[in-house]
Amino acid sequence: MEFDLNSSLYDPIVYKEDILRHVGEYDILKYYFPKLQLDVANKSPLREDSVPSFGVTMRTGFLYWRDFASGEYGNIWSLVALSMGTDFTGALQIIARDFGIRQGADFKKIAASIKRVPVPEKKQVEIGIRTRKWKPCDKDFWTQFGINKPTLERYLVSPIDFMFFNGNPVKADHCSYVYRELKDEVLTFKIYQPFSKERKWISNNNQSVWEGWSQLPETGDHLIITSSRKDTMSIVNVAGMNAVALQGEAMRPKQHVVQQLKDRFDKVYVLYDNDFDNPNNPGRTLGNKIASEFNLTQIEIPNDYKSKDFSDLVKAHGKHKAKSVLQKLLI
């Protein structure tokens, strides 16, 4: 869909608040993506998708989407922008044009002319799994990161052969796993398919869920915040240190939760990825942001080792060397 940002018919500066005075986020969703339904597994509108793994939900009047296969997520504005191949400002221009919000227009008439779409009642999205027995490929995969079966079982990691989206079975990739996490008596799943090029991560975890939280001791000397459960398990098993992970490096923890950790542990570190092969090094940037905001100590794997994270360090240089490197970082 093409449009001219310089056209005199449309306001060159349009804000989402202007749009939301006349249409709701659900109206926008149904206008551009009429087949998408709330709280069910949909086929992705952003890519070829033979297996429904795209979720849309509304919370407190705002719409959010998540691609369980790719791990991408966002709001209605980013969804329109991505589908149209534009940015946030461009998405606003498209929406304003398509809903007739023009310079000098009578906004009351515009609002009256728009047929509002009622938001359906919320349904629960269900992701299920079927576990299988451990196989040799499981041992080969996890031991390269210094992680053994007892640690996997302690951190509620199990091998799986099938996934279920609202009851619909989908065969998992070979040597795939489920991470379980229990919070507020709600069991959530994060599916990890390390060898899959299309669906490496599939999750229904709440963003507030910390991986490895329930395995932490009540108190301790050092605590390392990592960006993955794999790194958490590797640090615990190889270095014998306490570790926990957010759902991803881009997740922002709540202030009171971080304060709990600082009260329980003498020193809290942030060890995110060192994306040394990326000029922007997003892992370092995000790690520094979290460390600065919450007054934590940021550490990272030195560039000389060519390892992005601790588990990669173990794989490339062995357990003893990885432990030694981490110990030096904490001095």
Instruction: Report strand pairing: 220-226 vs 201-203.
Output: unpaired
pLDDT for res 118: 58
Euclidean distance between CA atoms 193 and 203, whole angstroms? 11
Chunked in runs of 10, what are the mean pLDDT values of the chain (331 residues)? 39 71 88 88 85 80 80 88 90 87 52 52 71 96 98 96 86 93 78 85 78 94 95 97 87 90 97 88 86 94 95 97 96 79
pLDDT for res 233: 98
Q: Domains, the chain, ranges and CATH?
A: 16-113 (3.90.580.10), 126-206 (no CATH), 210-331 (3.40.1360.10)
- Residue 305's nearest CA partner among 313, 296, 314 is 313
pLDDT for res 121: 58
Can you list the positions of beta strands (E) in the chain?
Answer: 54-59, 62-67, 73-75, 127-131, 157-165, 168-183, 186-192, 201-203, 220-226, 242-245, 265-271, 297-299
pLDDT for res 19: 84
pLDDT for res 10: 42
- Residue 290's nearest CA partner among 250, 326, 261 is 250
What pTM value is reported for the model? 0.67
